[in-house]
Chains A and B, each alone.
Chain A
Amino acid sequence: AQTVTQSQPEMSVQEAETVTLSCTYDTSESDYYLFWYKQPPSRQMILVIRQEAYKQQNATENRFSVNFQKAAKSFSLKISDSQLGDAAMYFCAYRSDLIYNQGGKLIFGQGTELSVKP
């Protein structure tokens, strides 16, 4: 079974600085998808960024980028120019490709609580 691990329960960053959140996963599958979701205090789950395992290029979405290391099974999120609105819980999530999992469920890590200091 696949597992997702976020080893940093809490992180803190100064406004305008850069922070990197770590995520590792375990799988025997070769095709899958990785996601970072943001959960602000409202507890809404908001997609931040997505990475397909077959793509070597790291995904980027404005100030958010990932460092995807497939061999190491690592998927970190870098937030540049941190803003106060970035303060939230961040969850890393894994989803199998269709050929393995017709259901399409997401497997989440434990989350990292990010605080942004003004």
Chain B
Amino acid sequence: EPEVTQTPSHQVTQMGQEVILRCVPISNHLYFYWYRQILGQKVEFLVSFYNNEISEKSEIFDDQFSVERPDGSNFTLKIRSTKLEDSAMYFCASNKVRENTEAFFGQGTRLTVV
């Protein structure tokens, strides 16, 4: 069964450093998403991406964040200068919205900023 793959599973970084979280969505999916879950809290939407551009972003997704799909398969989330409060689980998801299917989630990347 096709799945969304995220790497790394766990990333530890120093405050102020740049991090790139990587995702390989399911190959025939059209929409891609990043969500964040701070430990013990609910899952929050960050950004959606369609046709090589951002279609929607939340208030959380400020200038420190960026996304891109550099090679048609990988979908990355970059945090330019990490803060302690960026520590969270980051989930990538994809779906074929036009077929009204559910979003498939990756297993998540745990980001720890120290």
Q: Does B associate with A?
A: yes
Interface residues of A (CB under 8 A from B): 33, 35, 37, 42-47, 50, 52, 91, 93, 98, 101-111
Interface residues of B (CB under 8 A from A): 31, 33, 35, 37, 41-45, 48, 50, 55-56, 89, 91, 93, 95, 97-98, 100, 102-105, 107-108, 110
A50 to B108 alpha-carbon distance, docked (Å) = 22
Most chain A beta carbons < 10 A, residue from B43, B45, B103: B43
**Which secondary structure characterizes the binding site on chain A?**
loop
**A102 pairs with B42, CB closer than 8 A:** no
A42 to B98 alpha-carbon distance, docked (Å) = 30
* B33: A residues at CB distance < 8 A: 104-106
Q: With A103-B31, A106-B45, A109-B42 as given contacts, are A50 and B55 in contact (CB-CB < 8 Å)?
A: no
**A107 pairs with B98, CB closer than 8 A:** no
Mind listing 22 A-B residue pairs with CB under 8 Å?
A43-B37, A43-B107, A45-B43, A45-B105, A45-B108, A46-B105, A47-B102, A47-B104, A52-B100, A91-B43, A93-B43, A102-B55, A103-B56, A104-B33, A104-B48, A104-B95, A105-B33, A105-B56, A106-B35, A106-B43, A107-B45, A108-B43
Across the interface, name the chain B residue whose C-beta is closest to A35: B102
A51 to B97 alpha-carbon distance, docked (Å) = 15
**B55 pairs with A103, CB closer than 8 A:** yes
**A33 pairs with B48, CB closer than 8 A:** no
**B48 pairs with A44, CB closer than 8 A:** no
User: How many CB-defined contacts (below 8 Å) exist between A and B?
Assistant: 62
Across the interface, name the chain B residue whose C-beta is closest to A102: B55
17 other A-B residue contacts (CB within 8 Å) besides A45-B91, A47-B102, A106-B43: A42-B107, A43-B110, A45-B93, A47-B103, A91-B42, A91-B43, A93-B43, A98-B97, A102-B55, A103-B31, A104-B97, A104-B103, A105-B48, A105-B56, A106-B33, A108-B42, A110-B41
